[in-house]
Structure 1
């Protein structure tokens, strides 16, 4: 017979945070630049999080990525956000990648892949999608 858990065990909820990403993306001749700023609407701070950038077209084989970013799949990168205080914005993340081809348009998906142990009940503002045309113009998300 197993012992009963102590009173109140298992009832502790994980901290809650509301992550969001805002930024822009631009593409010219198969080269794409993405700049985003992570934010946390709280109520709890986030010790560390990771944001995923996923393209509808494959990336070129070799990439020069900024510190804190790693390629995780043919069309995907994951970048660290660093600590995010409650009701604050984090450090800007800027990534430039080369695509395998020179498409006229690319869909970019941005979402949280890891929230540092926090629960985010409002997933609508940390999942962004933007269609980027090969014009050199910035498209906001």
Structure 2
């Protein structure tokens, strides 16, 4: 029985120690409840709102750019390579013809001068042959020259 008394005494001491620990825990619990410890998430909320607004702005700008790009793509015209080559070929031909035409127009005055001299020589030769064949006409022409003072 002595052993039982010893065990009972030990259990009683343990129960008293346990009750004291519970009392301390209750005091600590009351102190913790009285502390105004509440998490403050205002700064995090502000940061998240700013980030959300910047993301929203970025998305709107990207959508505007995408709409503009799609509009330009829809307005663009796709030409086959043969059509582009044909257009360049025609442009080169037009430039060559235009250049040749300008060259010919610039030579007109020289051609007119050459034709005038040739015509004048031909007419003088014709009149000279006529006057050589017809002495009467030559005499009349000489008289006419003297009267008009063109000798």
Select the structure with the greater relative contact order (CA < 8 A; seq sep ≥ 6).
1
| Structure (1/2) with the larger helix percentage | 2
Scaled by the length of structure 2, the TM-score of the pair is: 0.16
| Structure (1/2) with the larger strand percentage | 1
Scaled by the length of structure 1, the TM-score of the pair is: 0.17
Larger Rg: 2
